[in-house]
Chain A
């Protein structure tokens, strides 16, 4: 397979080199693998990539029910940021953000990471106090964040209506300069290509129907294309995590919710940064093509349907129109939804489970995309060495027994409030 380079592209453009063919074909699963990864999204493919490259474990199969990156990897709003408050999440997402700038070079595939900056708006004194505390926590860990006043905000983002009499009060904001967006599909494709180059089998259109256990240890995966023997399984399936874990008799503190996003017709450049509004919740950014991408909070009812209610699109749009009045005259082109697994404390569950050989990468809610490289990195380390990577120790399933919860929002054990 060709190594992408300037020379390769030039030769292909001039018709000199071989034309770029398919990057990998449809593998037929073998009978036995060292590791089976369930879920061919960014997280599963990243785990396969780092297992092969960093730990020399390449006898891996990635099993995907649909197509690569067709779940939440292809349904998010492509935002990459690290503005968490609690120790545990703080270090993990800080590390995740630090992996993005080099990802394209690392994978030899352009994931179009654009560190255009992230802006979180404070609309009340309490919110501003919280953001100052958060910025201090981030700075203590060496993660970039600063607080800006409304006058600076006007210079940074002239499109926001925060003039002398703004429709919604804006008291300041938290700016993270190194955050931004990335091409979400390319992340799945880049990891898949790189994993495949290192000998990983990627099987699409193959549904897992059961997990085979012997003496509380994984011995195989039953799929729609036959039984695959393995003693190590990584479950990385976002919204369907509860159902996969139930196949091994594990009861997860997770409920599944739909999240919607929608996109406008292309406009000239108007928004510099990814901007987050905190009256209710709405986030907005502009793609390289000029479309305005908008998203809001979870649909408030548990759902496995990859779509949501038009009522919620209206709610999010009406919030954003207060901040960006020109949006009221902009037409929407598309809306879509994905299903997110939300834990009882709102933070992810990553690491080993009570079942031997079964590892879990779940509960990301709607913060999974930005975590992709670090989740794969830490989980690969955990699977290969048998030692839980220090960055994901606070994210273990056992915290729901020990009580060491990571409740960023302070919302209590109510999944639909996270």
Chain B
């Protein structure tokens, strides 16, 4: 079981959250097709640390941004997203 640091509730079990994918900024609405293709389909897929979104559905019902290591599964730096989804 992963322990996820929620900025509002503290460290809570993974089972209270749902996964929201990597935190990736969307391009502006007037961006060209290539930029949208990159935004939709490209994946960083790092073997190491990455930022991602989790939704604390069985807790405070807020989106949180964390940094997670994709090999060790360590999760650190829980914080509120800049633009709440």
**Complex formed: what's the CA distance from A240 to B21 in Å?**
19
Contact (Cβ within 8 A) B19 A252: no
CB within 8 Å for A254 and B40 given contacts A305-B71, A309-B2, A311-B15:
no
The answer to whether B41 and A305 touch across the interface, beta carbons within 8 angstroms, is no
Query: With A and B bound together, what is the CA distance between A404 and B19 in angstroms?
Result: 28
Contact of A310 with B1 in the complex, beta carbons under 8 Å: yes
In angstroms, Cα B61 to Cα A114, docked, is 49
Contact indicator B22/A302 (Cβ below 8 Å): yes
Give the distance to chain A from B82, nearest Cβ to Cβ, in Å: 21
Closest Cβ–Cβ distance, residue B1 to chain A (whole Å): 6
Least CB distance from A397 to B in Å reads 10
| Residues in chain B near residue A243, CB distance under 8 A | 45, 47
What's the least CB distance linking B48 to chain A, in Å? 8
B1 contacts A311, C-beta separation under 8 Å: yes
Interface residue tally for chain B (C-beta within 8 Å)? 23
B28 interfacial contact with A, CB 8 Å? no
CB contacts (< 8 Å) of A305 on chain B: these are 70-73
With contacts A251-B42, A401-B37 taken as known, whether A302 is within 8 angstroms of B73 at the C-beta atoms is no
A416 touches B72 (CB 8 A): no
Chain A residues 216 to 249 lying within 8 A of chain B, measured CB to CB, are 240, 242-243
List B39-69 residues whose CB lies under 8 Å from chain A: 40-43, 45, 47, 50, 52, 68
Interface residues as binary, B72-83 with A (CB distance below 8 Å gives 1, 0 otherwise):
110000000000
Residues of A within 8 A of B52 (CB): 301-302
Taking a contact as CB atoms under 8 Å apart, the answer to whether A255 and B43 are in contact is yes
Most chain A Cβ neighbours within 10 Å, of B52, B72, B73 = B73
**B37 in contact with A252 (CB, 8 Å):** no
Closest chain-B Cβ to A111's Cβ sits at a distance in Å of: 32
Chain A residue with minimal CB distance to B75? Answer: A301
Residues of B within 8 A of A415 (CB): 21, 43
Contact A309 to B1, CB < 8 A, known contacts A256-B70, A304-B47: yes
A300 within 8 A of B: yes
Give Cα distance in the complex from A303 to B1, angstroms.
14
- B1 adjacent to A301 (CB under 8 Å): no
Decide if B45 touches A254 in the complex (CB within 8 Å): yes
Q: Assess the B73–A414 pair: CB atoms within 8 A.
A: no
Q: Closest B residue to A299 by CB, please name it.
A: B19
Chain A residue at smallest Cβ distance from B43: A255
CB contact list, A368-418 vs B, under 8 A: 400-401, 413-416
Q: Which residues of A contact B (CB under 8 A)?
A: 240, 242-243, 251-256, 300-305, 309-311, 344, 400-401, 413-416
Q: What are some 7 contacts across the A-B interface (CB < 8 A)?
A: A252-B43, A254-B45, A303-B70, A304-B71, A311-B14, A413-B41, A415-B43
